[in-house]
Chain A
Amino acid sequence: MSELLELTAAQAADAIRRGEIEPDALWSAYRERAVADELNAYTWVAGAEPPEFDRSSPLAGVPVAVKDLFATEGIPSQAGSKILERYRPPYSATAVERLTGAGATLLGKTNQDEFAMGSSTEHSAYGPTLNPWDTGRVPGGSSGGSAAAVAAGTAPWSIGTDTGGSIRQPAALCGIVGMKPTYGAVSRYGMIAFASSLDQAGPFTRDVTDAALLLGVMVGEDPRDSTSIRLPGPIALPSATDLDGIRIGVPEELTGEGIEPGVLKAFEATLDVARELGATVEPTRLPHAPHALAAYYILAPAEASSNLARYDGVRYGLREDGADLLSMYTETREAGFGAEVKRRIMIGTYALSSGYYDAYYGRAQKVRTRISEDFRAAWESFDFIATPTSPTVAFELGAKLEDPLAMYLNDFCAVPMSLAGIPAISIPNGLADGLPTGFQLSGPAFSENRILDAAHALEKAIGFDGSKARKA
């Protein structure tokens, strides 16, 4: 049984196609682990009956865990919120349909920060998820359940969403691979929205090859999402083993103050590995990157304040009856939303208010444009920008709950790429005090294949061993 669980998803898919393993056995092995999960990574686990799938399809019979906020027909899709408790959508998200259409089987829905707002998965109405490396610590967030499930080996792989680091940061804190593709590469249809102009789905996997395989199935233009785009070519399985001729820029603004020494040490070791593989590594500037977090915390809450207006008790989800319409609205939202969601709705509502719009939303949009321009300038000299994914390793449960700003700072290195809409991957690159650290590699829009190739070469050379977390 343990041999089954040690297979990567790509290996398992191959073995199923060749008839070497029984998909039902793989299903049962993972399902049992998911049911027995003690990390609170899941908000729903599928029944014992293995789902139907087409054996000739690319992901044939490999189970996948899906972040709670993806709409799944007839299956609870609560986005980590009490306001959507027991909500079962009548339709499935495009990303989920593409996975199941490619033969993947839906193993479970994973825990998350409420409406993807958070960096620790502690802001879930269904309790925090624990980090499999140290259950006294957070797995990161907002897609903490998806990251913990893969790291703990209760799922071979999973999907999540990244608005300002919500895939990359938990991947880093859990010692696995997480990738946010170019904005628009994966359809947002059926993804319960946090901030529409930033939300982007992507894979969590044990290695880079799995990430390429899963992402390759997820991407594609979708007539139901006008902001979706077609990548210039299909996602290829990575094969590079060196970085010859690759130019890596290291932005001063994202690699200095605020990065934990252990994280910085691992980062520098990886830069050495990159050099050994043939890359040139040079410092560069992203002058506006330090303002990214401030702009992000205007734009994302502004969009969220509008996106979350629909949770009012009228049509679905929680309803608290009130004496009149207004009290039904306020009591439903008071009872249904957690503190962090309320905080962001307040910020966003304020930022869009008449008289404040230009000073906040308008100005933040200008910063966003400047950040994109910074990256565009960097691509003239570099193939990739490298930074630590998260400035810290996994922190203790509760450590930052009372200090929202400290929590926000965890996405300091991840947010600029989100604002620029560019692809970025996080790969595990070592341990600091026994906890995983992440290495972030980002490239220009549509450079997914080049990023995956470079990450593949680095991964082989780093030789990170994540099996410890899966034993637990």
Chain B
Amino acid sequence: MLQTAFNALALGSVYALMAVGIGLVFGVLRLVNFAYGQLIMAGAYTLVIGSDHNWPEWGSILACFGVVIALSLLMEIGLFRPLRRASPATMLVATFAVAFLLQSIALLKFGPLVKTATIFPGLFDPIGHGDFETVRWITIVAIFCAVVALGALTLLIAKTTIGLHMRAAAADFRTARIIGVKANEVVTLAVVLSGILAAAVSVILVVEDPFVEPQFALRDTIIVLVGVVVGGLDRLWTATLGGFAIGVVTSVFTDELSSAHAVYVDSFVFGLVILVLLIRPEGLFAPFTARPVERA
């Protein structure tokens, strides 16, 4: 019971971080970044390289953040910027192409087999005895990281000028530009922030599950993408709640379903998703006055 609760909270926190990363970029660009999972995968492979070469742990983590942020910026300059006025379908397929590209590069470079990254193995120990034997340190760390990151982000968006610009751009990009918000600045910040979150997620995921392969984090990304839409992509906080909720639901289903039914977790989750979308297409957590996301 305790284990189920902690696992659910931990997966929910990680998914919430990913949801914010996806939601930030959607807010300013109206673009669903399907390649987000491949950013996390790239970060995970950086950690693999680090542990293969016996880099110190802070070095590996620094490299991981560097690689993921650099890749995010590259994506923004090479793809998002030229496509800023394209239709949503085109942008989505373009991010598919990038996801596909990054995954094939990983396949080409590292092969299809699993690589192991050893980083902070101590975090895998249980936090105590008795009831606490099944709860690992990383679970606590994951929840802590999510709370800190989300708190910092909330402060940034609520209290700083650039945060105000971001909110303005998310509400109405064209009007925001007319009254002096610098588009490239805001978009770059959103992309960098989402890159930082992706890097943090890849560190947490690698500690939890050190076996890295080209499809690393793909399933998680798909579930989070579904979660943010179910929560409501129009607002950052509803998207985040959506990510958190779908993480909790997935985790609880995984832990509590009997083993004969456990293989059908995805079906249960997706079935629930369809049901929620039918009842509230504008988003589960969206205010009741809200209308469905327009594909402007």
Report whether chain A binds chain B. no
B residues whose Cβ falls under 8 Å from a Cβ of A:
none
A residues whose Cβ falls under 8 Å from a Cβ of B:
none
